[in-house]
Amino acid sequence: MNDFIKEVCTQSTILPEVFNLYKTSEKHRIKEIADYFNENSFEKIIFVGMGSSLYATYSVISYLSSKGIPSLALNAYDLKEYNMAQINSKTLVVCISQSGNSWEVVELAKELKDKIKVVGIYNNEKGELSRLCDFKLPLFAGVETSITNKTYQCTLLVLNMLVHEICNDNDEMFQSEIEIVIDWCSDWLSNYREKTMPLLKFSDNIEMFDFMGYGESMSTARQARLIFREGLKAYTCASEFADYAHGLYLSAQKNYMGIMFLPVLKRTQTEDRMINHILRSNGKIILFTTGVFDEKNNLQTVILPKVRPSLVPLMEIIPCDTLMGMLLGEGWIR
């Protein structure tokens, strides 16, 4: 075990704790935001962050669209410098910074101060964002000392609880699916060596990791790309699966791995063609899905339980965390 995996394993207790807090004593925080949004007939939500904080927001964009609420996920610097016209009096802005001090997010919050009300999601309650935002959603994840993992997970969870409250969907069915997700994550982490070892052996001699997905799973693809590059100093890429079919697939070769997040495996021409191309090119594939996939040489699957798509990234990232942690080796410290 090393410092990164030690911190990843704390999610077994942190995720249920944060879930219970926002179901009970802290529920007033998300309810206040939901009431404000609905009572003032807001028309759009813009999620703002940098790095992991931004990637987490992709998990809820499609859900909001399905409920008739347009939403955007924008880099804080890009929004402040080039896209402020996206914001009007009917826009709710959600600023996310796990540290609470990301300068791009802080500068944007300063720009918006006293113009519109801002929701702040952060882990460090002493950070500057907590002072600048009007509605506060702490992550309660505790101090994070390694490559981001538990704060990213808690951001996914809090975002899901917030948007489901806004859409009046924070019901028993939704909460029971969160419990399924938490149980799956806890089971993987409690047996992480046994669960991850086949993936670790499968990843021997890999020189490039390509992460790809659709919709909500782009949260996972971008987050996994970041941590593998930050931790392993590996060559990584993250792309939408359909875009991957437009030239990116040509990098597949020996010592190459495609890590595919396809919870609903539709077996379209694009999906099958890209999978077969990688395998024919002597590359390897790890496929995350809720369905059954035929056994193939150089392909391994991680089977996930079926829950609503916005919750799937909470599970997808866990095996990526433990795989990256084991690739770092025993005794690794940041």
Statement: residue 174 has pLDDT above 90: yes
Statement: residue 294 has pLDDT above 90: no
Q: What is the mean pLDDT of the chain?
A: 95
pLDDT band at 296 (very low <50, low <70, confident <90, very high): confident
pLDDT in the model for residue 333: 86
Model-wide pTM > 0.85: yes
pLDDT band at 320 (very low <50, low <70, confident <90, very high): very high
Provide mean pLDDT across the span 143-158: 96
Give the model confidence (pLDDT) of 2-15 as tens digits. Answer: 999 999 999 999 99
Provide mean pLDDT across the span 116-144: 96
Give the 3-state DSSP-derived string for the chain, with helices as H, strands as E and coil as C: CCHHHHHHHCHHHHHHHHHHHHHCCCHHHHHHHHHHHHHCCCCEEEEEECCHHHHHHHHHHHHHHHCCCCEEEEEHHHHHHHCHHHCCCCEEEEEEECCCCCHHHHHHHHHHCCCCCEEEEECCCCCHHHHHCCEEEECCCCCCCCCCCHHHHHHHHHHHHHHHHHCCCCCHHHHHHHHHHHHHHHHHHHCHHHHHHHHHHHCCCCCEEEEEECHHHHHHHHHHHHHHHHHHCCEEEEEEHHHHCCCHHHHCCCCEEEEEECCCCCCCHHHHHHHHHHHHCCCEEEEEECCCCCCCCCEEEEECCCCCHHHHHHHHHHHHHHHHHHHHCCCCCC
pLDDT in the model for residue 291: 83
Give the model confidence (pLDDT) of 267-280 as tens digits. Answer: 777 888 889 999 99
Give the model confidence (pLDDT) of 64-116 as tens digits. Answer: 999 999 999 999 999 999 999 999 999 999 999 999 999 999 999 999 998 99
pLDDT in the model for residue 197: 98
Give the model confidence (pLDDT) of 195-245 as tens digits. Answer: 999 999 999 999 999 999 999 999 999 999 999 999 999 999 999 988 988
